[in-house]
Amino acid sequence: MLIGIDASRAVAARPTGIETYSRQLIQALLALDSSHQFRLYFRTAPPADVFPGADARPISFPRLWTHARLSWEMARRPPDALFVPAHVLPLVHPRASLVTIHDLGYLHFPQSHPWRQRLHLDLSTRWSARAAAHLLADSEATKADLATHYGTPLAKITVAYPGYDETLAPVRDPAAIEAVKARYAIRGDYFLYLGTLQPRKNLARLVAAFASLQLVPTLVLAGKRGWLYDALFTQARRLGLEGRVLFPGYVPEKDKAALLSGALAFVFPSLYEGFGLPVLEAQACGCTVIASNTSSLPEAAGDGALLVNPTDTAAIGAAMQRVASDA
């Protein structure tokens, strides 16, 4: 069987959760001892070292790549089956099509997304849920959301928890940790958040909780800047936390393990997650985790985290204080 895969998200220069999921899952599929053949579709030619030896098909197009160009490819040279790792199934696709739905956060917290993005996510996910032969969901929470909001039959959805990068492990060398801290101008003990800076991540409450602490000098909010991130800078200045709340930007994969290993705790008070891959990454590095007790995060964290009500700033602060006091 020839299985086509939309690999367009797997080669992002600065990958976040969905891009990491796509890349690692495709790498695992290609490594299988299988009689199936895999064909990967890209917007542009991928780096040679990402999927060496793969049947890579770069099919460039200026706009509407999925529904226009990938659909055209499906019509002209269709594979026997198609796997889409991230939400959007092309209009033209094989009957045997599988799509991963990561979350429906735009329905739970519409104010956390620009309206155009919200409309696109709703329409594309609704279409994929209806038209695909089968769906993968990152969690039981996402599976329930699909059934509740889009009427997707439960039998059509399989929960497949994402894995994490197996190269992530605790960094034991103090010099390596100090070198990464110096690279990001971190001094002393610190709490760490890693992820996109956007309203759904509930970082305003995290900053407010941190402001109540006296013992820990630094809160590091690392990640690419999303929608409405400017309010965080304003809040930090207003609370007199300049120099104590750091915004180092996107952290490359090579620095992630050391940054997590050196932190007092990884704090992830997100209001909604389809799974919460950063929680697993922190646990893999031996980092204490403080996470929300909502959506899929209890599933992701298991017994390996302090779970808090993400709308209770005092509870977030109390968990951080507990970790700081026990350090």
Per-residue confidence band for 291, with pLDDT thresholds at 50, 70 and 90: very high
Residue 166 is assigned to a structural domain of this protein: no
Q: Are residues 181 and 151 in the same domain?
A: no
Q: Are residues 202 and 78 in the same domain?
A: no
Domain boundary among 136, 159, 182: 159
Q: What CA–CA distance (Å, rounded) separates 135 from 273?
A: 18
- The string of pLDDT tens digits covering residues 75-122 is 999 999 999 998 899 999 999 999 999 999 899 888 877 889 899 999
Task: List the structure tokens of 180.
Answer: 């990464």
**DSSP code, position 201:** G
User: What CATH number does residue 128 fall under?
Assistant: 3.40.50.2000
Residue 196 is assigned to a structural domain of this protein: yes
Residue 85 is assigned to a structural domain of this protein: yes
- The string of pLDDT tens digits covering residues 47-87 is 888 899 899 999 999 889 999 999 999 999 999 999 999 88
- The string of pLDDT tens digits covering residues 14-47 is 888 889 899 999 999 999 988 999 999 999 999 8
Q: What is the pTM of this model?
A: 0.86
Q: Are residues 198 and 136 in the same domain?
A: no
CA-closest candidate to residue 84, choices 75, 52, 74: 74
Q: Are residues 274 and 297 in the same domain?
A: yes
- The string of pLDDT tens digits covering residues 168-202 is 999 999 999 999 999 999 999 999 999 989 888 99
Residue 45 is assigned to a structural domain of this protein: yes
Q: Are residues 144 and 186 in the same domain?
A: no
Q: Are residues 234 and 130 in the same domain?
A: no
Q: Which backbone phi and psi does 32 adopt, to 5 degrees?
A: -65, 145
User: What is the pairing mode between strands 245-249 and 190-194?
Assistant: unpaired
Instruction: Please measure the distance between the N-terminal and C-terminal CA atoms of the chain and give it in whole angstroms.
Output: 54
Partners of 158 in the beta sheet? 136
| Average pLDDT over every residue of 119-146 | 96
Q: What CA–CA distance (Å, rounded) separates 243 from 228?
A: 21
Q: Are residues 185 and 252 in the same domain?
A: yes
What SS3 state is found at 45? coil
Domain containing 250 equals 174-326
Q: Which residue has the tokens 């069987």?
A: 1
Task: List the structure tokens of 154.
Answer: 């439960």
The tally of domains found in the chain comes to: 2
